[in-house]
Chain A
Amino acid sequence: MNILVLLGRSAREKSSRLLYGLGFLQNVIKETLRFFRKSQVGYKVLIMQILFTGYEALTINAIMAVSIGAAINVIGTSLLPQFGQSQLMYTILIIVITRELGPLLTAFVITARSGTAIATQLGTMVVSHEIEAYLSVGLNPISYLVVPRFIGVVVSMLVLTVYFNLFGLLGSFIVVQVFNPTPISEYLGNLLSQLAVGDVLWGLLKAFVFGVVVSVVSTYQGFSVNKASTEIPVAGIRAVGQSFILIIVADVIITLMQYA
């Protein structure tokens, strides 16, 4: 009986949290639509968010993209000839980088950097009553604090994904030059012949969805802090954990839609 009661209570709490989360998402979307229609004091927050999430992550994203592009090329040039499929190298490169790893790894980088930063920053603001202070002067925290972060993360996610794609292909090109020197025009020609607009669009769709997931989960977790400073790191950990899980679930769903 006790177990049933506990299970019931747990299910009720989880349902309640899910509904609250969906309400939060709805509120964020509603406020986002209003964001550009009115004179906003939140533009500075938006610019700062894009600088932090997008610009400051360029280096780490570039290093990762070049490395991954190079690794894929090394693996491909070693394995594919054994099956007589060397011509698939460019196709695999395009598919793996633009459709899958570009958005996925970029999302992981943004979650690790910005997701934790957003959750802990908002959590700290809750504990120090800064959120209430915004309310007291008539600023809606969703509009002023969440929406700029939401837009900033989504925009950064899209830009960084494109950036990742370009640098991933650059890494691959570097490896090609080492093992099988090829003129850049020929390399690009082969690459572009395999590249379809759909590859880029599906990748960007994933980037968009992942950006929404990271920003909404992180801000939600930040606001879930109640009173104690010890809740702040917990919010950061939850933001990362939940974002990772939801990103992978979203990735699977979009991939299924892509190949259905």
Chain B
Amino acid sequence: MPDTNAVPQVAIELKMVSADSAGYKVFRDVNVAFPRGRFSVVLGATGSGKSALLKLAAGLMVPSGGIVEYLGRDMSRFTRKDEADFRAHSGFVFQDAALWADTNILNNVAMPLRVHRPWMSQSEIAESVRLALKRIGYDEGMGYRPSDLSAGEQKMVSIARAIVHDPDLIFMDDPGSSLDEDGLERLYELLGELGEAGKTVIVVANNSEFAYRFADMLGVIKNETVVAFGGYDETLSRASVELEGSLARLKARGGRSRKPRYPDSPAGDPGSEMSQRGDV
């Protein structure tokens, strides 16, 4: 009998999801399940629809067909309370930071706390914001407006905003873009910490480094759909047809040295159970 406790619970699942944008088909019939407590990375070329996939998964974009589920519940049927609960337990890093231009860094990062933890005092909020910014390596003042910062610093603030309320589920859209080497190192440290803490992290990127370093689950977007999704090794070994670009580079780098985080899963690969949901 397999140990059912080892089977990853699905955090977000897209079932036959299609999406349109400005009259154009972005996706068609996407099936993908992001397991809970795991680090999923979806790779794809520029303009392949990675951001749209992430927004669909995060409920920021309404699908034109199919359903998106969070812990097995259809997100389109969320009540106001369900929605608030989902947002209280999730954070989203936008590709272009998407900070609120009319207020300062403190208020930008503090917003999730003000919304979801209204009982916190101003000093507690300021301290939490400071710690979140420190984790990602932002060391400028909190009184600046976003327009006073470089693109890399804005990205750091955006990441801090997504983690300040310690969410269980974190969506990241190309989190390394605009960051310099030091910033990237801090980001890798942060992602490592999030992984160790058992957070569900879903990253879309066109940089294979994230997948190589962190991916428990690996997916590929191509031709308006997710053509492969499964455990890291499984995706690399089985998706031979898709071996181009980032995926080919990952394959060329060979096996990873880090220990499997999920020894209960066959071969330490959490994708074994999940891959049936994809088209690998």
Contact = CB atoms under 8 A, between A and B. Distances in A.
Interface of A: 39, 41, 124-125, 128-130, 132-139, 226-227
Contacts of A133: 92, 94, 98-100, 161
B55 interface: yes
Contact of A136 (B84, B91, B101, B118): B91
B22 interface: yes
Max chain B C-beta neighbours (<10 A), residue from A132, A138, A226: A138
Contact of B83 (A39, A125, A138, A226): A138
Nearest to B103: A44
Contact of B112 (A128, A130, A137): A137
B98 A137 contact: no
A182 to B, nearest CB: 50
Contacts of A39: 118
Kindly state the interface size class of chain B when it binds its partner. 20 to 34
A66 B60 CA distance: 50
A223 B114 CA distance: 24
A28 B9 CA distance: 38
Interface in B83-107: 83-84, 87-88, 90-92, 94, 96, 98-101
Interface of B: 22, 55, 58-60, 83-84, 87-88, 90-92, 94, 96, 98-101, 111-112, 114-116, 118, 161-162
B83 A130 contact: no
B22 A128 contact: no
A135 B22 contact: no
B92 A136 contact: yes
Contact of B84 (A125, A130, A138): A138
A132 B83 contact: no
Closest 6 CB pairs of A and B: A138-B87, A129-B98, A136-B92, A133-B98, A137-B112, A138-B115
Contacts of A136: 58, 60, 87, 90-92, 94, 162
B22 A139 contact: no
Given A41-B114, A41-B115, A137-B111, A130 B91 contact: no
18 contacts: A41-B111, A41-B114, A41-B115, A128-B96, A132-B60, A132-B94, A133-B92, A133-B94, A134-B100, A135-B60, A136-B60, A137-B115, A138-B84, A138-B87, A138-B88, A138-B115, A138-B116, A139-B115
A122 to B, nearest CB: 12
Contacts, number: 54
B101 A130 contact: yes
A128 to B, nearest CB: 6
Nearest to B108: A133
A132 B98 contact: yes
B55 A132 contact: yes
A136 B92 CA distance: 6
A137 B94 contact: no
Contacts of B91: 136
Nearest to A40: B118
Max chain A C-beta neighbours (<10 A), residue from B92, B111, B116, B118: B111
B22 A226 contact: yes
A138 B60 CA distance: 11
B22 A227 contact: yes
Contacts of B96: 128-129
Nearest to A228: B22
A22 to B, nearest CB: 19
Nearest to B59: A135
Max chain B C-beta neighbours (<10 A), residue from A135, A137, A138, A226: A137
Contacts of A125: 100
Contacts of A124: 101
Given A39-B118, A132-B55, A227-B22, A139 B111 contact: yes
Nearest to A135: B60
Contacts of B92: 133, 136
Given A130-B99, A133-B92, 5 more contacts: A129-B98, A132-B60, A136-B91, A137-B112, A138-B116
Contacts of B162: 136
A39 B22 CA distance: 36
